A and B are shown apart, each in its own frame.
Chain A
Amino acid sequence: MSQLLEIERLGKRFGGFVALEDISLSVAAGERVGLIGPNGSGKSTLVNCICGTLRNEAGSVRFDGHRLDGSTAHQRTHRGLARTFQLPRPFASLCLLDNMRIPLLYTVAARGGGRSAPDIEARCFEVLREVGLEDKARRLPRELTQVEMRKLELARAMAAEPKLLIADESMAGLTHSEVEDIVALLKRLNEHGVTIILIEHIMRAVMSFSQRLIVLVSGRKIADGLPDQVVRDPDVERAYLGQ
């Protein structure tokens, strides 16, 4: 399997504060990777650096063989990266259907997937159906519950037809069965060839989903391996699981 995402010695500071230090990891195409760590450990910062929302000062990011340094966030999305935001950021003035339309119009179209208008609309409905939001298609995001907003975030990332999807705490606040639904959805996506990095605090979801587990604490990677081995690692227990 080729490495889809390669991060080498990534570093990011905010003024005097070191958010990420010397992060190196790689994700193979088709993998299911879990990323865990305490709050403030730098997980979202890492996502921001990978996706281009923030600029890293040190190190490099390679995606699909290309160096990403210097490219804008939207260019990275066109290449096949998609992410959700930890706190959902829907397009508030557009209905859910139109929220789905945006990645289709801009990302999928940019890759040469010229679709007709009815096709696009059908695809929008399809994505909403995957997360169970199709009967709210014409509603505005402000009418959704927090949980539904997270599903919307996920749907919008899916609509971009990514090669790599980074799901940042998409399951917060969901019930037990809803969590299972999302895990099943992500597994289905993965079967269709989408590489997935799951960032979560819900351990049961992470354990059932991930083929590999990476642990981030205070901006450093302290573990990277099979889930069963990582959770037994004494450093990991001390830093994170023991809480």
Chain B
Amino acid sequence: MEMSLDLLGNAVVSGLLLGGFYAAVTIGVSISFGMLDIVNIAHPAFIILGSYIAYIANTSFGIDPILAAVIALPAFYLLGAGVYQVYYLSFERRGDEALRGLAFFFGLLFITEVMLVLVFGVDYRLVDAPYIGTSLHLGIVDLPLRLLVPCVVALIMVGGLQVFMSRTFLGRAILAVAQDQLALRLMAANPTRIKRIAFGLSIATASIAGAVLIVIQPVEPSIGRDYIGRVFAICVLGGMGSFAGTVVAAMALGIVESLTATFYGPSWAPAVSFGFLLLTLAVRPAGLLGR
């Protein structure tokens, strides 16, 4: 197999861009799982939901998909807050997140997927935007805007969240609740409310991630499931709640997947993310007590 510099360079660059996208996909889970310890395996389903909303906005009203996602942000936030409220009342309060909480999110994942199938069918859907199809050329490297724009949007979103977390009172309250709920309570802040806000934010990111997904590739209801392993692998490898770590881990995965796809063929992509997942499990065993 020809290891030309061209091919290698482009594979790495694509991988980096893809990695930026993966960071957007994972950041919601970094919040819900990394910080709040909620195993929201339905996160990819919310992302796909975001993709389809962007699709409708794009095909019916001609709105740019990413713009549509930004408009949909409040709705997704409210959805997230609602889901958390149900989760909290039904499971967190009873101390039964392990089995039934997981089953709850699995049920949500599943219901969302099946409803999308019923409404849209199993065909692939795509969006149309002026930047899809064109590329920038920098020397030997091609930068398809289809990948570049999502990556930039993703990094802006992650960066924005990082600023929110470290500079605002609410953001720091969220970081605090992740570490020590008792201390937060003693400071007369209500941990449940903080967690609800955080979870709402986590689902809001799915709106943007979904729009960005459908710009990069055509979407059909079941592809959410391919992302579950990826997302949790990146979250754990990235340090469970560290945004910077998430970006680095996402780019690492993106590059490895891109190289594998270029030199060995795309059908091995699931194996790559599974390999990453196994790696995270082997390298960062948390034991029974902690993360």
Show the binding face of A for B, using Cβ within 8 Å.
53-55
Give every chain A residue within 8 A of B289 (Cβ-Cβ). 53-54
Report the minimal beta-carbon distance from A54 to chain B, rounded to whole angstroms: 7
The 4 closest A-B pairs by CB, nearest first: A54-B289, A53-B289, A55-B287, A53-B288
Report the minimal beta-carbon distance from B286 to chain A, rounded to whole angstroms: 12
A-B contact pairs, 4 of them (CB 8 A): A53-B288, A53-B289, A54-B289, A55-B287
A53–B289 Cα distance when bound, in Å, is 8
Residues B51-92 near A (CB distance < 8 A): none
Residues B253-291 near A (CB distance < 8 A): 287-289
A53–B287 Cα distance when bound, in Å, is 9
Give every chain A residue within 8 A of B287 (Cβ-Cβ). 55
Show the binding face of B for A, using Cβ within 8 Å.
287-289
A54–B289 Cα distance when bound, in Å, is 8
Q: Which residue of B is nearest A53, CB measured?
A: B289
A198–B164 Cα distance when bound, in Å, is 47
A166–B289 Cα distance when bound, in Å, is 20
Q: Which residue of A is nearest B290, CB measured?
A: A14
Report the minimal beta-carbon distance from A46 to chain B, rounded to whole angstroms: 15
Give every chain A residue within 8 A of B288 (Cβ-Cβ). 53
A54–B288 Cα distance when bound, in Å, is 9
Give every chain B residue within 8 A of A54 (Cβ-Cβ). 289
Q: Which residue of A is nearest B287, CB measured?
A: A55
A185–B287 Cα distance when bound, in Å, is 35
Q: Which residue of B is nearest A73, CB measured?
A: B288
A55–B289 Cα distance when bound, in Å, is 10
Q: Which residue of B is nearest A55, CB measured?
A: B287
A122–B289 Cα distance when bound, in Å, is 34
Report the minimal beta-carbon distance from A100 to chain B, rounded to whole angstroms: 23
Report the minimal beta-carbon distance from B109 to chain A, rounded to whole angstroms: 28
Report the minimal beta-carbon distance from A189 to chain B, rounded to whole angstroms: 28
A8–B149 Cα distance when bound, in Å, is 58
Report the minimal beta-carbon distance from B95 to chain A, rounded to whole angstroms: 8
Q: Which residue of B is nearest A14, CB measured?
A: B290
Give every chain B residue within 8 A of A53 (Cβ-Cβ). 288-289
Q: Which residue of A is nearest B288, CB measured?
A: A53
Report the minimal beta-carbon distance from A57 to chain B, rounded to whole angstroms: 13
Give every chain B residue within 8 A of A55 (Cβ-Cβ). 287
A54–B286 Cα distance when bound, in Å, is 11
Report the minimal beta-carbon distance from B262 to chain A, rounded to whole angstroms: 39
Report the minimal beta-carbon distance from A200 to chain B, rounded to whole angstroms: 22
A53–B288 Cα distance when bound, in Å, is 8
Report the minimal beta-carbon distance from A219 to chain B, rounded to whole angstroms: 18
A175–B153 Cα distance when bound, in Å, is 63
Q: Which residue of B is nearest A54, CB measured?
A: B289
A54–B287 Cα distance when bound, in Å, is 9
Report the minimal beta-carbon distance from B260 to chain A, rounded to whole angstroms: 34
Q: Which residue of A is nearest B95, CB measured?
A: A92
Q: Which residue of B is nearest A92, CB measured?
A: B95
A97–B288 Cα distance when bound, in Å, is 26
Report the minimal beta-carbon distance from A19 to chain B, rounded to whole angstroms: 13
Report the minimal beta-carbon distance from A72 to chain B, rounded to whole angstroms: 10
